[in-house]
């Protein structure tokens, strides 16, 4: 077959002709592929090196533990060791855990991860070549390089280079699947449908947030240039292998979850499977979801602002989406104008390049809408961020194909504005620390390294990464301080009580701090605070048997507690201490505390019923902290407290902002009415104005 020109007499749009044009597209770029890939990888390595090691909260809380639990069956001795994240599919974190346990230096580990993450840029380059409307190699390569540069300008992508996050590694599977689907829009192939389905199914199984991209991909399939019957067959192939990819990757872990909890996706979808060991209310993180339609329309422009809590917890200004919206509107307006002004019958020759662009643009728009309504978190939008870079370049080149100088000026302005935003307003590491020897430099007391214990951990940060360094057969239970504290009643209480009974007397508490302090010392962690948490299981601290675990190189932990209290760390600044003490049975009569908790629960239950829009999921565990009692709400990140005669709702993520304050006595007397909701600046809850 002649791959340069159609054979004599062959239809211009025959399969052979389309194959020839497709081969030309990729052969023309072949000499530049290896240098392009190497450049992308070198940039990823340099960025990772200069940014430092990322010791993120998520890595310490559950990334390391997830890889550990994937290779070591922890169901028998652990329970919510890393909070609800303990039971997310862990296989995407196995490479990170394996590298850490291999003994390689932290720089070598992070560099290997950065090399793997640079594949994201390779796929962006290939997608740009595929969508490019020109057959001129120089023009196509220019578009490919510009797409790479714009993809690199994504602050979220830079944050994750060389890190333990699975968002970027699973995003590569998603982007690879979309690349195959777009290729099928240019030239339909059954093999592309099969491979795309497998990739996207596996990506969704490894991280359920990727299911948004799998669903949105059906908008791409609408553009397949096939008769209805043939298109339905291709879609059926895609659906079948999407399911196969998902089941093959998800089944091993889901089997364990179904056996332990009766929910193969525990703790997710528990409103369907109704496991008694977790809330049955829907879980939905509202942190970055727009409060209304106008906010949703404004989101591309809101992302330009270099402030936190817009589309991610860190400051991550990104003008690319706003520019894409403006350019797309301009291109659409010009297309409509030309269509209505054209005279004579419309052309019967299909515009393949326009169809490919339409497929990618339609798929991206559907994906954006689904993502914004599901989470709005840009960490889960990484594959579409690269798609946006490709779309922006292609739309700009198509819009100004005959005005090269204006196009180049606009392109330069886009790059300049993005560089300024990144250099002045972006945060590239969650908690970056200098490079040192091993990833974890842990000093473990000999007793804890050889004797199996059950560790009852306290704190929002579970410190579950320590599980890999404790004695074999040690157990972990993060029972207090998290968004889902474990009560001493119900199915969860039975599970914890059984573990305590099984390990007794080898049961210890674990909390970050050099030692347990008295109330007079006004430092955290306090002995009374720990005892209050343990009391729900009839336990207290045995202060005669305490030990300290030292970990070098961890970021400092923000202390929230007494006003004017001193920092916890008294030793070297780069050493973090975790204190663990033996716990024993408590034989103190606690009926006054139980009566007080019943009164607090009545107040908080009424508060939740009055404000279900914000306080969800409701009926979470109530915890005592001195004179204060509190509940946390995972969906909205809010915290409700009852203390000193007042009922308060606060937003810890927004400077601990006060949302509502009312008298406890009013809520004890009877239920109150509240007006609750969300605004662009956060949440509100107030008593209705008297009429």
Q: In 3-state terms, what secondary structure has residue 477?
A: strand
Helix 137-152 × helix 119-131 angle, to 10°: 140
Distance CA 83, CA 100 (A): 22
Of 134-143, 196-205, 315-324, 619-628, least confident by mean pLDDT is 134-143
In 3-state terms, what secondary structure has residue 229? helix
List % helix, strand, coil for the chain (3-state, nearest 5). 55, 15, 35
E strands present in 521-574: 539-552
pLDDT (0 to 100) of residue 446: 92
Cα 309 versus chain centre, distance: 14
Comparing 205 with 309, the larger pLDDT belongs to 205
Three-state DSSP state, 175 = helix
Q: What is the mean pLDDT of residues 615-622?
A: 89
Q: What are 112-126's pLDDT values in tens digits? A: 999 999 999 999 999
Average pLDDT over the chain reads: 88
pLDDT value for 586: 83
Residue 29 confidence (pLDDT): 58
The percent of residues in the chain predicted with pLDDT above 70, rounded, is 90
d(CA 100, CA 211) in angstroms, rounded, equals 29
Tokens of 322: 């706003």
Average pLDDT in the 248-254 region?
A: 97
* pLDDT for res 566: 38
Instruction: State yes or no: pLDDT of 17 exceeds 60.
Output: no
pLDDT at 380: 96
Counting Cα atoms < 13 Å in the Cβ hemisphere of 328 gives 19
The structure tokens 């280079």 sit at 161
Q: Please, what is the end-to-end C-alpha distance for the chain in angstroms?
A: 83
And the tokens for 250?
A: 């998800």
Q: What is the pLDDT of residues 181-232, one digit of tens each?
A: 999 999 999 999 999 999 999 999 999 999 999 999 999 999 999 999 999 9
Q: By mean pLDDT, which of 227-241, 272-286, 507-521, 677-691 is the weakest?
A: 677-691
- The model's pLDDT over 552-563, given as tens digits with 9 standing for 90+, comes to 888 766 433 333
Segment 536-556 mean pLDDT: 90
pLDDT at residue 25, as a whole number? 52
Check pLDDT > 60 for residue 524. Answer: yes
* Window from 148-162, 499-513, 569-583 with minimum mean pLDDT: 569-583
Q: Which long-range contacts (CB under 8 A, 24 or more apart) does 552-558 make?
A: 552/436, 552/441, 552/442, 552/443, 552/576, 553/53, 553/55, 553/433, 553/434, 553/436, 553/440, 553/441, 554/55, 554/60, 554/433, 555/55, 555/431, 555/433, 557/461, 557/512
Mean pLDDT computed over 352-379: 94
Question: Which band of pLDDT confidence, cut at 50, 70 and 90, is reported for residue 482?
Answer: confident
Q: For residue 10, what pLDDT band results from cuts at 50, 70 and 90?
A: very low
The one-character DSSP state at 678 is: E
Q: Give the domain ranges of the chain.
A: 21-54+82-425, 441-588, 592-686
Question: CA 86 → CA 96, 387, 391, 521, distances in Å?
Answer: 16, 31, 37, 35
Q: What is the pLDDT of residue 555?
A: 75
Spatial separation of the C-alpha atoms in residues 91 and 63, rounded to whole Å: 10
Considering the entire predicted model, what is its pTM? Answer: 0.89
- The Cα 117–Cα 540 span in angstroms is 47
The whole-number pLDDT of residue 28 equals 53
> What distance in Å separates the CA atoms of residue 267 and residue 162, rounded to the nearest whole number?
29
pLDDT confidence band for 591 (50 / 70 / 90) = low
Lowest-pLDDT range of 178-187, 240-249, 410-419, 589-598: 589-598
Across 498-526, average pLDDT: 92
Query: Which comes out higher in pLDDT, residue 115 or 680?
Result: 115
In the predicted model, is pLDDT for residue 568 greater than 60?
no
Spell out the residues 6+ positions from residue 464 whose beta carbon is closer than 8 angstroms to its own: 60, 61, 62, 64, 65, 81, 82, 86, 457, 476, 478
For 187, other C-beta atoms within 10 Å of its C-beta total 14
Rounded CA-CA distance 3/19 in Å is 8
pLDDT tier at 654 (50, 70, 90 boundaries)? Answer: confident
Strand partners, 580: 510, 547
Cα separation of 687 and 691, whole Å?
12
Confidence of residue 137 (pLDDT cuts 50, 70, 90): confident
**Higher-confidence position of 498 and 27:** 498
Contact 612, 281 (CB under 8 A): no
Answer yes or no: is pLDDT of 20 > 70.
no
């Amino acid at each position: 077959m002649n791959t340069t020109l159609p054979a004599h007499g062959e239809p211009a749009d025959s399969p052979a002709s389309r194959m020839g044009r497709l081969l030309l597209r990729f052969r023309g770029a072949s000499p530049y592929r290896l240098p392009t890939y190497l450049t992308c990888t070198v940039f990823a390595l340099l960025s990772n090196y200069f940014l430092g090691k990322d010791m993120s909260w998520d890595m310490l809380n559950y990334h390391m533990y997830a890889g550990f639990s994937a290779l070591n069956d922890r169901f028998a001795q652990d329970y919510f060791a890393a909070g609800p994240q303990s039971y997310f599919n862990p296989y995407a974190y196995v490479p990170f855990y394996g590298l850490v346990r291999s003994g390689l230096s932290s720089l070598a580990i992070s560099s290997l991860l950065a090399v793997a993450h640079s594949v994201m840029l390779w796929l962006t380059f290939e997608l740009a070549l595929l969508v490019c409307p020109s057959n001129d190699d120089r023009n196509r390569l220019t578009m490919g390089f510009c797409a790479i540069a714009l993809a690199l300008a994504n602050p979220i992508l830079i944050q994750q280079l060389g890190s333990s996050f699975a968002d970027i590694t699973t995003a590569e599977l998603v982007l690879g699947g979309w690349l195959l689907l777009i290729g099928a829009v240019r030239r339909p192939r059954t093999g592309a449908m099969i491979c795309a389905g497998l990739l996207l199914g596996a990506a969704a199984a490894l991280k359920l947030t990727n299911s948004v991209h799998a669903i949105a991909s059906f908008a791409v399939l609408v553009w397949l240039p096939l008769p209805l019957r043939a298109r339905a067959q291709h879609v059926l192939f895609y659906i079948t292998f999407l399911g196969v990819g998902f089941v093959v990757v998800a089944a091993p872990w889901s089997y364990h979850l179904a056996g332990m909890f009766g929910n193969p996706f525990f703790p997710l979808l528990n409103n369907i499977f109704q496991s008694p060991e977790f809330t049955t209310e829907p879980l939905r993180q509202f942190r970055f979801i727009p409060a209304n339609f106008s906010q949703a329309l404004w989101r591309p422009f809101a992302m330009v602002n270099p402030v936190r809590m817009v589309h991610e917890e860190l400051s991550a200004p990104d003008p690319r989406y706003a520019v894409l919206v403006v350019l797309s509107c301009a291109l659409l307006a010009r297309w409509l104008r030309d269509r209505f002004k054209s005279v004579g019958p419309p052309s019967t020759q299909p515009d393949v390049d326009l169809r490919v662009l339409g497929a990618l643009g339609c798929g991206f728009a559907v994906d954006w809408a689904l993502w914004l309504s599901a989470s709005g978190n840009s960490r889960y939008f990484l594959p579409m961020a690269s798609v946006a870079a490709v779309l922006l370049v292609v739309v700009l080149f198509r819009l100004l194909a005959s005005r090269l100088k204006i196009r180049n000026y606009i392109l330069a302005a886009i790059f300049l504005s993005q560089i300024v935003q990144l250099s002045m307003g972006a945060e590239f590491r969650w908690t970056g620390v200098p490079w040192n020897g091993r990833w974890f430099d842990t000093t473990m007391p000999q007793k804890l390294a050889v004797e199996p214990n059950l560790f009852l951990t306290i704190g929002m940060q579970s410190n579950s990464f320590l599980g890999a360094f404790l004695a074999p057969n040690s157990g972990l239970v993060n029972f207090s301080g998290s968004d889902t504290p474990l009560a001493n009643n119900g199915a969860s209480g039975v599970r914890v009580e059984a573990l305590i009974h099984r390990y007794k007397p080898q049961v210890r508490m674990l909390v970050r701090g050099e030692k347990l302090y008295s109330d007079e010392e006004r430092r955290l962690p306090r002995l009374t605070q720990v005892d209050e948490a343990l009391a729900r299981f009839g336990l207290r601290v045995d202060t005669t048997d305490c030990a300290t675990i030292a970990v070098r190189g961890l970021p400092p932990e923000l202390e929230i507690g007494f006003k004017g209290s001193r920092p916890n760390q008294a030793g070297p600044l780069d050493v973090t201490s975790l204190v663990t003490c033996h716990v024993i049975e408590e034989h103190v009569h606690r009926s006054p505390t139980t009566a007080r908790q019943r009164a607090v629960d009545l107040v908080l239950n009424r508060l939740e019923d009055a404000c279900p829009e914000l306080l969800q999921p409701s009926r979470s565990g109530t915890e005592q902290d001195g004179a204060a009692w509190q509940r946390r709400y995972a969906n909205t990140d809010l915290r409700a407290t009852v203390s000193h005669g007042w009922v308060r709702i606060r937003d810890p993520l927004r400077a601990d902002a006060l949302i509502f304050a009312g008298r406890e006595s009013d809520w004890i007397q009877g239920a109150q009415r509240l007006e609750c909701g969300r605004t662009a600046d956060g949440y509100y809850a107030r008593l209705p104005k008297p009429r």
